[in-house]
Every structure is written in C-alpha cells, then in structure tokens.
Amino acid sequence: MSVDAETSDGRGDVDDVVIRDDAGANAVTSARTEPAENEPPIRAGEADAAAAGVHSGDGAVHEASPPPPHEPARPVSVQEVSRKHWWQRAWAVLGVVVAVVGAVTGVIGVLPILFRDATTPDSLTVSLQAAEAELVSTFAIPLTADWSGFPTSATGCTAEQQAWLESTGLLLHERYLVTVGNRAAEGATLSLKDFRGKGEAASTPPQAIAVVCDRSGSGAAGMRAAKLDPASGRTAVYEQRDPSLPDNPLVFNLTPGESGDFALFVQSSADFTGELVFTASLGGESWPVTLPIEGGVKVPGLATQRLTVAGERLACIGSSECDPGKVIADLLAASGQA
C-alpha cells in the first residue's frame, strides 16, 4: 500500500490524498483538508507517519507506545476467602456472645432486686376467731337483776341455771384466738404491739357483772390470755398471779416466714363500741392494724370482780373470802342504784 498526496496551488497544501493497494487500485480517496491556523501543513509522506504515530513538540512524528497488556484477574477460591476472614467472623460471633451474656447477666442480677421477697408491711397476715372454752359460757347480768330467783343446785351449772342466765343477761364473747404471720422469705422482723381499743366508751360506772357457767367439770381456767380493756385506753397485758409483780405487755415479733398465735381476753370497764387495733412496726416505719372482727366490737361495761356458779350458790372467782351479795350491793351503791 502507498499514499499519494496531490496539490493544486503549489504551496504544499494537500488537496487530495489517495491510498493505493499493491495492485494499484484506489482504496480510499480523502477529501481536501484545511490546515488549522498556525499549524504547519502536512506534507506528502507524513500521512502514514501521522496515521501510525504522534507528533512531538518539535514537529517530529514518533511511534506511539502500545498500551500495556491487560493482566486478567486471578480467581480467588472460597477456601482462601474463608482463611482470610475467619478471624473477622470469630470476633463478630464473640461480640454477639458477650453482648447476650452481658444482657442476661444484667437481667439475672436485677430480677432478684426487683422481685425479691423481703419483709414489707404487706407481708403481715392477721386472722381471728372466737375461742370460748367448750361448755363454758359467760353472761353479763345487770346489777339490778332479781338475784333471789337464781336457781340452786347441788352440782355445777345446770341447764336450769344456764337458762336463767340466758333469759336475764347477755351472752359474752370475750376470748379470741389471733393468728399472725410474716409471709416474706427474707428481710427484717415485724413487731406487733400496743393492742388496744379504738372507739367510744361510756363515762358511767359499769352496770353489769360477769357470771360464768362452767359445765365442763374442769374449771374455767382455759389457755393463758392477754387481758384487754378497750374502754380504758390501756394496752393489753399478761397479768401476773403475784400482784406485787408488774404486768407484761403483749408484744409479738415475727421473723420472715414465721407465724404464731396468741389469746386475747376482752373485758371492758365501761360500755364500749368500736374496734380492736394494734401497732405494727418494721424498722423505723409503723402503722395501725385493725383486728378483723366482723361487725366490730360492742361490749357492756363489767365490774372487775367476776362470779361463777358453784353448785347451789354463786361464788367469787379468785377469792374464797368474797361475798357475791356484798359485791353486788357495793356496785349498786357506786352506780347510784342502791
């Protein structure tokens, strides 16, 4: 192949460029090209060089360097990727495990604090039931009753005598069995104290005396109980058999999980209507608690001295020298009814 350049103006400008193959046939005929301003004209013989090379700054044509061969990417196997990134996966798994263990440990540590069964005021349980001795009844008999009509008998308290007491007086409920407990599993001790009456008490002297009808044949001793006079404002105490000794106040302590019971003997020195309460305390906190007696408490005022049916006559309880007739007369006089 050869390149022929033809000019028409004699200035060296190329009007037509004809490219011939080896057989002399025309392969390509180019159109006239105009040189750019300030650009040197392309002379014959330079077209092949221009087609195959590049111009340098001095106008010479140099052969362009071929581009570097493209090296194909080397395939990476799954095993290589696994070997390269196993430590990254291990750290990721370890991070998840640490986070989960930390969260679980935190929850396990907090749950006992939030839900631990420690002693609170709600840990206290209280129940109560009447605890009168079997076959033993107590009646409040008005001081002004016709005592001369009381039946006599050679033995104990007969059915006839009990019938007189029932028709003349009021059957009393004086003894209560109180059951308390601390249902907490841990924590501090609950303290129960200051068992007392809360309500209204009459200001007049007692108008009745208690008479006990014991048909059990074993006496009316019963279980030892703390005595509570709701009208007096004083707290319940265990009375000593020896009058020279001070009475012991009723106090009941409950450690977590502990329960117990005690007896209360209620005898009022004046007519009283209200309820029986006590004070519960836990640490520095204290609050009042009402004993669950249905309908509350309504009791008549009774003389301190009590009587019992002893065969054919009445007798004073706790004193063999006592004369029941004289006791009743003195009470009537004190109340202005003699």
Spell out the per-residue pLDDT of the chain, length 338, in tens.
Answer: 444 444 445 444 444 444 444 444 444 444 444 444 545 555 544 445 444 444 444 545 455 555 566 555 555 554 554 554 555 666 666 676 666 656 555 545 544 555 467 999 999 999 999 988 778 999 999 999 999 999 887 777 888 999 999 999 999 999 999 999 999 999 999 999 999 999 999 999 999 999 999 887 665 556 789 999 999 999 999 998 888 899 999 999 999 999 999 999 999 999 999 999 999 999 999 999 999 999 999 999 999 999 999 877 899 998 888 899 999 999 999 887 76
Query: Strand, helix or coil at 197?
Result: strand
Residue 110 placed within a domain: no
133 token code pair? 């001795």
Domain boundary among the residues 15, 45, 63 is at 63
Are residues 189 and 263 located together in one domain of the fold? yes
Are residues 58 and 132 located together in one domain of the fold? no
Q: What is the pLDDT of residue 104?
A: 55
CA 135 to chain centre: 47
Q: What is the pLDDT of residue 31?
A: 44
Q: What is the pLDDT of residue 95?
A: 73
Are residues 173 and 261 located together in one domain of the fold? yes
Residue bearing tokens 């005396």:
209
Are residues 193 and 328 located together in one domain of the fold? yes
Residue 45 placed within a domain: yes
Residue 99 placed within a domain: no
Residue 69 placed within a domain: no
Cα gap 303→337, rounded to integer Å: 14
Residue 82 placed within a domain: no
Domain boundary among the residues 17, 34, 63 is at 63
Are residues 7 and 152 located together in one domain of the fold? no
Residue 306 placed within a domain: yes
Are residues 56 and 140 located together in one domain of the fold? no
Q: What is the pLDDT of residue 117?
A: 78
Residue bearing tokens 């060296």:
12
Are residues 155 and 42 located together in one domain of the fold? no
Are residues 194 and 306 located together in one domain of the fold? yes
pTM: 0.64
Domain that holds residue 10: 2-63
Pairing of strands 16-20, 285-290: unpaired
Q: What is the pLDDT of residue 337?
A: 75
Q: What is the pLDDT of residue 316?
A: 93
Number of structural domains found in the chain? 2
Domain boundary among the residues 63, 97, 114 is at 63
Query: Strand, helix or coil at 151?
Result: coil
Are residues 37 and 136 located together in one domain of the fold? no
Are residues 153 and 252 located together in one domain of the fold? yes
Residue 10 placed within a domain: yes
Task: Confirm if 184 and 243 have CB atoms less than 8 A apart.
Answer: no
Q: What is the pLDDT of residue 101?
A: 56
Are residues 34 and 141 located together in one domain of the fold? no
Are residues 132 and 39 located together in one domain of the fold? no
Q: What is the pLDDT of residue 73?
A: 56
Q: What is the pLDDT of residue 54?
A: 46
Residue 23 placed within a domain: yes
